[in-house]
Amino acid sequence: MRIAPSCDMDTRMADDVEESEVFEITDFTTASEWERFIARLEQIIHDWKLTTYVKGPPLKKGEFSTGEWEEQAESINFATVCFTVTEYHLKQTAVVEGSTQEENEDSLPQAMEDMLLMENDFPPRAHCICRWYGLRHFVVLTPVANSDAVLSESKINLLLSSMAIAVNNTNCLLPIFAQIQQKWRRMYTGICEAPGARTTFDMVHLKRTPHQYGHMEGLINIFKSKIATPISPLPQVKASIRFTYVLHDWTQYAWSLQPPDLDSPLGDEVGYPGFKALPFGAVEDPINELHLSATWPSQAENTIVDNDVYSDLDASQAPQWSVRLRLTEKPQCLLGEYLSAFAELVHNRDSTDQLLGKPAFDDMDDETSEQISQALQRLTDPGRVHLPTLSSVVSRARTRIRSRQKQVEAPISIDTLNELLWHLFPDAANQDESSESCDESEKDDQTEPINVQPEVKEWYRHFKSGPEDGLTYKLAVAMCVVNHSHGGLKAVAHLWQEFVLEMRYRWENVFLIPGLASGNPNMGCCLLHQKLQMLNCCIARKKAREERQASQTESEDMTSRTPGSSDQNIASENQETGSATDDATGSITPFASANQLLGDDPASNEKPRSVSKVSLREGQSVKSDSDSEEEFFECDEDSFPGSPSKNKADLDSSEMEVEEVHFQVGSEALETDRRVAISEANNETRSQKPSGRLRPCGDLKLLNKDELLYIPVTQDPAPMTEDMLEEHAEVLAQLGTTSEGAELRAKMQSACLLSDMQAFKAANPGCELEDFVRWYSPRDWIEDEEEEEDEVEVMEEQEDEEGRAREEGGAREGGASRRRIKGCLSQRMMLPGNTWQEVWSQSKAVTAHLQKRLFDDTKEAEKVLHFLASLRPGEVVLHLLPLIIHAALRRLEEADVEEVPSLQPHFPGLVSKASRVTRAPTQDIRKYEELVKQISLIEEVIARSLSLKAKFLPPKSETETPRHTGALQQFVCDLMDKPEVPVIGAGRGPVGEAIHQLFGAAQRAAHMLPEVEADLQDSPGKVKYSHTHSSVPDFPRPAGREFIFRTVAPRPAPYSQPTPQRMYCVLVDEEFRLAGAFSQDTTFQ
């Protein structure tokens, strides 16, 4: 039937046709809704340029599902009903112009040709219209609201005729469809107009399969009757058939075969090994069903028998097999679940007190007040600083935990908490067993191995988290587990509170924190880690100081009792006075930094001991002097007018004079041989003056004095965490870029320079700025080259010598040649009034230990502790997120993420993305949530892969040859990343056999009780498909059957042009659908 356009439409279209010269008013004011709808539809077709449609290249096999589909949509109204017009278009590689031009008028439009193509039957993933009719380009008109569904026959016809008018008016060759009936039924009706031919698309949709159409024979009858071509015999019908079988019962491969680690956190009822690692894996089988499709492509209708009583269609005989997986929707995966629950906490803004209630808070008050009173007590009793033994510390820590827990019903039970704390602080647990034997130095060793990390992959290098299995890492994992399994946010708050208390406890009792990389805060780690490292630095310094004081008081006692009698005593005194000898090994003074102190080997003091014995006796008064100075170490220099530093400086200036005298004596004495006298004199000065020497600076000697140049023991620069550094940099930057600003900046930073200069002066009495520069900034000392040889000689001489006297002599000679060395400071150092000179002139000789501390460990430790204590649990979680993400990625790696080929490009990408997120200057929870999502996805994929492997690659498969295993492995890989995987060799290949076995096993399991026939009675239309051997068929009844019938036949008259005819049928349990596309000649009818 042809629908004539209305006359209004005619006049409108006439614009660009012949009557343009006739002046005539065209009136659109009376246009009906229907006309407006058609006009709008035409406009859309024009806008989308669908009229100049060119044919695409031939379709490649499987292109419907592998290719990319393009869509564009517009909305359109018919009266009050709103529709969406959508164009679907398979994106194909650029069309070669030449080939498209040669299309002649008579050829059928592409849509009609595509209907007959066999290459893309049954695409696994495509728009349903594409699947039913094999189209690559079409337009669909859909009502927007469900309530606007086009239900009545007349409305459907109206819609269809509107579309027909529109495509005719625009000469659009594309098929256009309208969705009719309720949306869920997915009913479409459509039309495709071409010059001389038209295809109408129609559909039958029923809930039950009519008995007589439950097989191919019946369906072909419908097809033929619909074509109703007058010629006979009918042209041959070709049929493509696909039967789909569903396997959902995995029998022996049931999901009991979980990844082994799944059992441990859940199954183990004793202990909580889960604290140590994040869980992993899916708790349910991530693979729900396996769909096997057996396909018979393009068979002639008479070669296959499929009717009421018999069927040729046996799955195992099908020429093509393909498999799809039906995945469990959002399987419950542990890692993802733990992580997202953990990340969720960041949004909580409650404080610890709010979460844990008042009692906990009160208790903490008691705790601190107790600590304060203890501290006061210690202050008032400076003489007896007692170092608590480790065992006592630990036992106290434990009783503290227990007593605290009794009153409140804590979120975490006492046992669990103790276990957690032991896990986090293994040193406490070890201590429990071997209480006294383990001394402090051993403990230090325990913290060492953290530095020696197992070779971490390059991609984690820029991960801003913390060392793996370090304290923060463990804490993050423990927190995550605690949150999930032991009480949520409250438990997290509780554990955090305990953790902070433990930190304070360790600080106050001078007890290093284990599991942290030693040394200054590492900016490559997350802020929390840095803070703890900072605390550790403070503890280490405090410890060094207290040890020093302890050894001091001890040795004092001993000297008063038996002065200089025991070796040990002398050794300690030797250290104490810091009267280092000029022995090349160099003795380390007690005021070296903690690290240096720990590295001090008593054996290296062996040699100088005999010398210092003498010197000590001689310089007894000096020693006692310095002892008294030590007591003031903690005091601020400026507050004491007669401060030790001043005394010392006075002493030094007098020393320098003395030194000069000696020096002159020495040079006079050079001519004659008076070595002994000189060395004695030198001994004397040495024993009194220089202090705080670390080691000689190579073979350098002082410029105007015949002394080795010594590197002094210096104060370590203050460690800083990144937030402190930022603050510091901010302050520096705010000084601006003016020269005053720069000067001020230099002044602010010269504290370290001053301290070093002071120490240098103390270690090298009589030195000059030139000497200092030669050590500190060698490139600012310009030396004349010709003297170098002499120097080298001297050096060699010195190294060879063993006897003290000879060395002295050598030094003398060296000194003689040294005097001739010419050199000068670089220009910039000589500038009058430059900072270096200024600071030099201001600095007095003060050894490092007598200087004002550059780093106030007490203050810094309190700052860290305050920082920790004031974190809300939500913030704590945010601080732990970098670590937990790191741990999660490691967990994925342990789960063999790399063995899943489909994740190959994604996982490293995720790692580098994660490392970027951890390094972001401001930690953004949304980015972490995104990461968590992706980790969950990867976990799901891995779980899926594990499940597949368990199913298809059972561990013990002796029967299979390597080739089989290879094929199966490939198959499993393909299943992971393709929507549908063809089975090579169909039912006869290795993979086919495995699948066959799976189905067979499932069938046998399912048919333990019921008979096969019982099934068949339920659905009379179903045909019993052939059994292979037993009474139970290996394959179940197909869950779905699809048929595509195609032919070319002349319609409607015998002399009409033959046109393509196609019908698609699908028969599933709850649905019977026929989708027919019947064409007819519109010229010869």
* Distance in Å, CB of 495 to another protein, minimum: 29
Residue holding tokens 């100081």? Answer: 545
Q: Indicate which single residue of 564, 809, 954, 979 sits in contact with another protein (rule: CB under 8 A).
A: 979
* Distance in Å, CB of 260 to another protein, minimum: 25
320 is a site residue for another protein (CB under 8 A): no
Q: Indicate which single residue of 5, 62, 124, 982 sits in contact with another protein (rule: CB under 8 A).
A: 124
* Distance in Å, CB of 146 to another protein, minimum: 16
How far apart CA 387 and CA 390 sit, in angstroms, is 9
Nearer to another protein, 337 or 556 (CB): 337
* Distance in Å, CB of 124 to another protein, minimum: 5
* Distance in Å, CB of 976 to another protein, minimum: 11
530 is a site residue for another protein (CB under 8 A): no
Given the rule CB under 8 A, which of 369-377, 408-416, 669-677, 906-914 is the region that contacts another protein? 906-914
756 is a site residue for another protein (CB under 8 A): yes
127 is a site residue for another protein (CB under 8 A): yes
Given the rule CB under 8 A, which of 118-126, 260-268, 610-618, 986-994 is the region that contacts another protein? 118-126
How far apart CA 612 and CA 141 sit, in angstroms, is 103
* Distance in Å, CB of 529 to another protein, minimum: 14
* Distance in Å, CB of 916 to another protein, minimum: 7
Q: Give the angle 734-740-741 at the CA atoms, nearest 5°.
A: 15
715 is a site residue for another protein (CB under 8 A): no
81-100: contacts with another protein (CB under 8 A): 88
* Distance in Å, CB of 753 to another protein, minimum: 6
In single-letter form, the type of residue at position 249 comes to D
For the beta carbon of residue 997, count every other beta carbon within 10 angstroms. 11
Strand partners, 197: 194, 1081
Given the rule CB under 8 A, which of 8-16, 299-307, 650-658, 919-927 is the region that contacts another protein? 919-927
- Contact map string, positions 600 to 639, toward another protein, x by CB under 8 A: ----------------------------------------
How far apart CA 265 and CA 980 sit, in angstroms, is 36
Q: 68 with 124: CB under 8 angstroms?
A: no
The H or E element spanning position 88 is strand 81-91
Q: Indicate which single residue of 905, 955, 962, 1010 sits in contact with another protein (rule: CB under 8 A).
A: 905
- Contact map string, positions 480 to 519, toward another protein, x by CB under 8 A: ----------------------------------------
Is residue 566 helix, strand or coil? Answer: coil
Q: Give, in order, the Cα–Cα distances in Å from 585 to each of 570, 601, 693.
A: 18, 11, 11
762 is a site residue for another protein (CB under 8 A): no
Q: Indicate which single residue of 746, 869, 953, 1053 sits in contact with another protein (rule: CB under 8 A).
A: 746
Is residue 718 helix, strand or coil? Answer: coil
Q: 245 with 1038: CB under 8 angstroms?
A: yes
298 is a site residue for another protein (CB under 8 A): no
Q: Indicate which single residue of 118, 661, 742, 1014 sits in contact with another protein (rule: CB under 8 A).
A: 742
746 Cβ partners below 8 Å, 6+ apart? 835
SS (H, E, C) 485-550: HCCHHHHHHHHHHHHHHHHHHHHHCCCCCCCCCCCCCCCCECHHHHHHHHHHHHHHHHHHHHHHHH
Q: Indicate which single residue of 312, 469, 801, 930 sits in contact with another protein (rule: CB under 8 A).
A: 930
934-973: contacts with another protein (CB under 8 A): 934, 937-938, 941
How far apart CA 684 and CA 697 sit, in angstroms, is 22
Size of the site for another protein (CB under 8 A): 81
N- to C-terminal Cα distance for the chain? Answer: 12
The alpha carbons of the chain give a radius of gyration, in whole angstroms, of: 45
How far apart CA 590 and CA 552 sit, in angstroms, is 10
Q: 873 with 352: CB under 8 angstroms?
A: yes
777 is a site residue for another protein (CB under 8 A): yes
Q: Give, in order, the Cα–Cα distances in Å from 813 to each of 673, 687, 787, 803.
A: 12, 22, 14, 16
Nearer to another protein, 120 or 405 (CB): 120
Q: Indicate which single residue of 516, 753, 981, 1077 sits in contact with another protein (rule: CB under 8 A).
A: 753
729 is a site residue for another protein (CB under 8 A): yes
238-277: contacts with another protein (CB under 8 A): 244, 246
Q: What are the φ/ψ torsions at residue 704 (nearest 5 degrees)?
A: -110, 30
* Distance in Å, CB of 334 to another protein, minimum: 18
Nearer to another protein, 88 or 338 (CB): 88
DSSP letter at 277 equals S
Q: Indicate which single residue of 277, 304, 1016, 1039 sits in contact with another protein (rule: CB under 8 A).
A: 1039
Q: Indicate which single residue of 19, 33, 71, 631 sits in contact with another protein (rule: CB under 8 A).
A: 71
Per DSSP, the chain holds a count of helices (H) and strands (E) of 39, 17
Nearer to another protein, 197 or 883 (CB): 883
Q: 692 with 589: CB under 8 angstroms?
A: yes
1059 Cβ partners below 8 Å, 6+ apart? 108, 112, 197, 199, 1048, 1049, 1050, 1051, 1079, 1080, 1081
Q: Indicate which single residue of 717, 966, 985, 1054 sits in contact with another protein (rule: CB under 8 A).
A: 717
Nearer to another protein, 205 or 443 (CB): 205
Given the rule CB under 8 A, which of 492-500, 674-682, 685-693, 901-909 is the region that contacts another protein? 901-909
How far apart CA 517 and CA 526 sit, in angstroms, is 12
Given the rule CB under 8 A, which of 372-380, 660-668, 672-680, 927-935 is the region that contacts another protein? 927-935
Q: Indicate which single residue of 118, 920, 1005, 1014 sits in contact with another protein (rule: CB under 8 A).
A: 920
* Distance in Å, CB of 678 to another protein, minimum: 34
Given the rule CB under 8 A, which of 24-32, 535-543, 790-798, 912-920 is the region that contacts another protein? 912-920
Q: Give, in order, the Cα–Cα distances in Å from 376 to each of 124, 369, 504, 1007.
A: 79, 10, 16, 83
Residue 171: burial class (beta carbons within 10 Å; 0-12, 13-18, 19+): middle
Q: Indicate which single residue of 13, 118, 128, 375 sits in contact with another protein (rule: CB under 8 A).
A: 128
Given the rule CB under 8 A, which of 127-135, 163-171, 262-270, 540-548 is the region that contacts another protein? 127-135
144 is a site residue for another protein (CB under 8 A): no
Nearer to another protein, 95 or 731 (CB): 731
855-894: contacts with another protein (CB under 8 A): none
| Two tokens, residue 306 | 């499929």
Nearer to another protein, 210 or 519 (CB): 519
818-837: contacts with another protein (CB under 8 A): 826-829, 831, 834-836
How far apart CA 264 and CA 395 sit, in angstroms, is 31
Nearer to another protein, 131 or 689 (CB): 131
How far apart CA 442 and CA 440 sit, in angstroms, is 5
Q: Indicate which single residue of 136, 291, 484, 951 sits in contact with another protein (rule: CB under 8 A).
A: 291
Q: 513 with 471: CB under 8 angstroms?
A: yes
Q: Give, in order, the Cα–Cα distances in Å from 373 to each of 380, 869, 936.
A: 11, 20, 51
Q: Indicate which single residue of 53, 69, 361, 460 sits in contact with another protein (rule: CB under 8 A).
A: 69
449-478: contacts with another protein (CB under 8 A): 461-462, 464
